[in-house]
Amino acid sequence: MKRITLRLPDQQIEMLESMVEAGEFPTVSEAVRDAVRQLIEKRAARVLRESDQVSFKV
Protein backbone atom coordinates (compact mmCIF):
# COMPACT_ATOMS: atom_id res chain seq x y z
CA MET A 1 0.00 0.00 0.00
CA LYS A 2 1.32 3.44 -0.93
CA ARG A 3 0.99 6.56 1.17
CA ILE A 4 -0.32 9.89 -0.11
CA THR A 5 -0.46 13.31 1.51
CA LEU A 6 -3.83 14.97 1.55
CA ARG A 7 -4.84 18.42 2.75
CA LEU A 8 -8.44 18.95 3.81
CA PRO A 9 -10.27 21.90 5.34
CA ASP A 10 -10.53 21.82 9.14
CA GLN A 11 -14.29 21.37 8.95
CA GLN A 12 -13.95 18.16 6.89
CA ILE A 13 -11.30 16.77 9.23
CA GLU A 14 -13.49 17.52 12.23
CA MET A 15 -16.40 15.70 10.58
CA LEU A 16 -14.21 12.68 9.84
CA GLU A 17 -13.01 12.66 13.44
CA SER A 18 -16.63 12.84 14.62
CA MET A 19 -17.48 9.82 12.49
CA VAL A 20 -14.60 7.90 14.08
CA GLU A 21 -15.72 8.94 17.58
CA ALA A 22 -19.27 7.81 16.74
CA GLY A 23 -17.97 4.39 15.71
CA GLU A 24 -18.69 4.75 11.99
CA PHE A 25 -15.04 4.02 11.15
CA PRO A 26 -12.09 2.70 13.17
CA THR A 27 -9.80 5.52 11.96
CA VAL A 28 -9.87 8.67 9.88
CA SER A 29 -7.68 6.89 7.32
CA GLU A 30 -10.27 4.15 6.93
CA ALA A 31 -13.02 6.75 6.47
CA VAL A 32 -11.00 8.37 3.67
CA ARG A 33 -10.28 4.96 2.06
CA ASP A 34 -14.02 4.21 2.14
CA ALA A 35 -14.79 7.53 0.43
CA VAL A 36 -12.20 6.82 -2.26
CA ARG A 37 -13.60 3.31 -2.83
CA GLN A 38 -17.09 4.77 -3.27
CA LEU A 39 -15.82 7.41 -5.69
CA ILE A 40 -14.04 4.78 -7.77
CA GLU A 41 -17.11 2.52 -7.84
CA LYS A 42 -19.28 5.45 -8.93
CA ARG A 43 -17.04 6.87 -11.66
CA ALA A 44 -14.55 4.23 -12.81
CA ALA A 45 -16.82 2.69 -15.47
CA ARG A 46 -17.47 6.08 -17.07
CA VAL A 47 -13.79 6.99 -17.09
CA LEU A 48 -12.83 3.65 -18.64
CA ARG A 49 -15.61 3.99 -21.22
CA GLU A 50 -14.45 7.48 -22.19
CA SER A 51 -10.85 6.25 -22.36
CA ASP A 52 -11.88 3.50 -24.79
CA GLN A 53 -13.72 6.02 -26.97
CA VAL A 54 -10.65 8.23 -27.17
CA SER A 55 -8.48 5.31 -28.29
CA PHE A 56 -10.96 4.45 -31.07
CA LYS A 57 -10.89 8.02 -32.41
CA VAL A 58 -7.12 7.92 -33.01
Total domains in the fold of the chain: 1
Q: Report the pLDDT value the prediction gives residue 50, as an integer from 0 to 100.
A: 75
In-domain check, residue 42: yes
Task: End-to-end CA distance of the chain: give it in Å, rounded.
Answer: 35
Query: By residue range, what is the domain housing residue 22?
Result: 11-57
Q: What is the pLDDT of residue 54?
A: 56
Does this model's pTM top 0.95? My answer is no
Burial class of residue 16 (count of CB atoms within 10 Å of its CB; 0-12, 13-18, 19+): buried
Residue 53 confidence (pLDDT): 62
Q: Could you tell me if residue 51 is inside a domain? A: yes
Q: Answer for the pair 16, 28: CB distance below 8 angstroms, yes or no.
A: yes
Q: Which of 9, 8, 25 is nearest to 17 (CA)?
A: 25
24-46 pLDDT, tens digit per residue, is 999 999 999 999 999 998 888 78
Q: Quick check: is 24 in a domain?
A: yes
Task: Note whether residue 1 is domain-resident.
Answer: no
- Cα(3)–Cα(43) distance, integer angstroms: 22
